[in-house]
């Protein structure tokens, strides 16, 4: 299982939001590029970069910082946040992103996700961000009536090759992942699923590895020192 450090960007800084709440922000660094280099030096095989302002605005906002990160590190970078058009996706791929994550766009326009998956084989990820099992959009601020599992199955049938499942209620709470829901999502498709939200220890990552997920995105627990990246990679390899 891949352990994937997250770098969440807001106003050019590396931050974490509690349960996606923009009013509950903790700043960890004014230099996200150095943060990316740190995760690279500690063995990260992939880095997950989220433009939080972009997710809120519906367009790339921290694009210059994201481009700097992509250029500064060797591990592949997957980019999320504010990607709402095929042109925006192409822009990130042209900039060197390894994968591009669609969230709100895939909910609003599943056909766009299908087209993206056809045009960019293996490089499209759909993020299923759920609160109470129901999909949320627009930077997690708007709840839909879409059940996360059904949404995942619909997009998988349309050719989307990979998913990130985020449990919003657990995100940055440092309690534990929602193992039951993660297992449900993994069982719902034969496509790879990456889990996010709630990781607080290496032991929890080891348990997540047993659910069959391809990877786990880790944020706050890395930044506050509860999880050592090297130890986490060793425990889940």
User: Mind listing the pLDDT tens digit for each residue in 174-189?
Assistant: 789 999 999 999 999 9
pLDDT at 173: 66
Q: How far apart (Å, rounded) are the C-alpha atoms in residues 94 and 3?
A: 25
pTM: 0.94
* Annotated domain spans of the chain: 2-236
- Is position 169 annotated as part of the catalytic site? no
Percent of the chain residues topping a pLDDT of 90: 86
pLDDT at 139: 75
Catalytic residue among 8, 51, 167, 171: 8
Domain 2-236 indexed as CATH 3.20.20.70: yes
Task: Give tens-digit pLDDT for 190-235.
Answer: 999 999 999 999 999 999 999 999 999 999 999 999 999 999 999 9
pLDDT score of 138 more than 90 = no
- Is position 8 annotated as part of the catalytic site? yes
Task: Give tens-digit pLDDT for 21-78.
Answer: 788 888 999 999 999 999 999 999 999 999 999 989 999 999 999 999 999 999 999 9
Nearest 10 degrees: Cα torsion 178, 2, 162, 201: 10
- Cα–Cα distances (Å) from 138 to 59, 143, 226, in that order, read 11, 9, 30
> Taking the CB of residue 225, how many other CB atoms lie within 10 A of it?
7
Catalytic residue among 51, 53, 63, 129: 129
Q: What average pLDDT does the segment 116-129 reach?
A: 96
């Amino acid at each position: 299982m891949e352990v994937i450090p997250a770098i969440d960007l807001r106003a050019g800084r590396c931050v974490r939001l509690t349960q996606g709440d923009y009013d509950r922000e903790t700043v960890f660094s004014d230099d996200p590029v150095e943060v990316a280099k740190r995760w690279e030096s500690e063995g990260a095989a992939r880095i997950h970069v989220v433009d939080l302002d972009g997710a809120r605005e519906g367009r790339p906002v921290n694009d210059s910082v994201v481009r700097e990160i992509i250029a500064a590190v060797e591990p592949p970078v997957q980019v999320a946040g504010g990607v709402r058009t095929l042109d925006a996706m192409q822009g990130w791929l042209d900039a060197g992103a390894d994968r591009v994550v669609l969230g709100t766009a895939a909910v609003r326009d599943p056909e766009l996700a299908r087209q993206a998956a056809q045009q960019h084989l293996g490089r499209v990820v759909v993020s299923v961000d759920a609160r109470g099992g129901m999909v949320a959009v627009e930077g997690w601020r708007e709840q839909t009536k879409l059940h996360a599992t059904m949404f995942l199955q619909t997009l998988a049938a349309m050719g989307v090759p990979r998913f990130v499942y985020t449990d919003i209620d657990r995100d940055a709470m440092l309690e534990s992942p929602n193992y039951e829901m993660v297992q449900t999502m993994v069982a719902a498709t034969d496509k790879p699923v990456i889990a996010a939200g709630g990781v607080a220890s290496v032991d929890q990552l080891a348990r997540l590895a047993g659910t069959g997920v391809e990877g786990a995105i880790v944020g706050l627990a890395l930044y506050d020192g509860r999880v050592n990246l090297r130890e986490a990679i060793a425990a889940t390899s």
